[in-house]
Amino acid sequence: MRSVDAWFLPAEGQPEHAQTHVVEEAMISIDVANVGWYTLMWTPTDSAREVLGFTADAGMMAATEDPEVLALAAGFMFTEGLIGGIADIAKMEICASDPSIVNVELVDPGAVEVRRKDVVMGSSCGVCGERESVENLVGDLRPVAQSIQLNHEQFDQLMEAMRELQRVFGMTGGAHAAAVFDRNARILAVAEDLGRHNALDKVIGKCLLTKTPLDGCGVLLSSRMSLEMITKAARAGFELVAAVSAPTSLAIDIGERLGITLCGFVRSGRATIYCHPERVAEIPISG
């Protein structure tokens, strides 16, 4: 976050001049050796200088308990299909001469099926570079498991719990969030970023780095549900995606195909279930 000068115009009274916080927009590049170079616009909410890196033998090497730069890198590689899990990463490290670069070495880079590489992605960008077919995005994905069932009341409880953890949004009003929850409606991890794709990658990466199992989990989103958000959720095996906004038509199509329950407009005690309603306890499902 950054502090900036601003003028506040109240509904009544005189304008006031004061400092306020805005969400930071920065560039991070993930250099995956012998695979590709990926540049993202992101929001650093902790200090990358407190992070050294990660190795398969030593694990995380960081002064902070929440090294989000490593989480973003790991989560992005996972949802991009470059790795199948944390065991596929041999080493990640912050470049000594440029802390905006994360250097990554994979255990077996030759085994990676590269969908896209050497691309620059904006903060709102999901599918970038050359135009790709939907099948190219989802063709290798398999239907998710069937182990979650939530009550209607738990949706709002989960959203409220996520909001309480949105520190950056609370100070700036300009950050998206994603939160992973388990089948008992407990939040396991939360991440924020100016980009909704980054927030989802970060929270998945946090779970990977801490070896938090994703089986039987769902995810909350502060954004709309687009095609690539659902494909990222599917790669993580999330059974239910609940968002404050709406899904797109392709998101519904892929959610239906992969067995994911999509819940939109989750707010103020309401929700709209678009597919696979069997995970919502109050909805009667005929045999």
Res 128: pLDDT = 41
Residues in the chain: 287
Q: Rg of the chain over CA atoms, in angstroms?
A: 19
> pLDDT band at 125, cuts 50/70/90?
low
- Ranges of each domain in the chain: 26-126, 152-279
Res. 149: pLDDT tops 50: yes
Q: What is the DSSP letter of 112?
A: -
Give the other-Cβ count within 10 Å of 76's Cβ. Answer: 27
CA distance 243 to 221: 5
Q: Let me know if 275 is a catalytic residue.
A: no
Contact between 117 and 131 under an 8 Å Cβ cutoff? The reply is: no
CA distance 136 to 237: 18
152-279 folds as Cytidine Deaminase; domain 2 (3.40.140)
Q: What is the CATH number of domain 26-126?
A: 3.10.20.10
Res 132: pLDDT = 52
Cα separations (Å) of 267 from 234, 244, 270? 23, 6, 5
pLDDT in tens, 152-186: 899 999 999 999 999 999 999 999 999 999 999 99
Residue from 125, 207, 217, 263 carrying the catalytic annotation: 125
Of 266, 126, 149, residue with least CA distance to 195: 126
Q: What mean pLDDT value characterizes the chain?
A: 89
pLDDT in tens, 126-140: 554 333 566 777 878
Angle 43-176-114 from CA coordinates, rounded to 5°: 70
Res 131: pLDDT = 39
pLDDT in tens, 203-230: 999 999 999 999 999 999 999 999 989 9
pLDDT in tens, 18-74: 898 888 889 999 999 999 999 999 998 765 556 778 898 888 887 767 788 999 999
Contact between 145 and 237 under an 8 Å Cβ cutoff? The reply is: yes
For the chain, first and last CA: distance in Å? Answer: 52
CA distance 207 to 64: 16
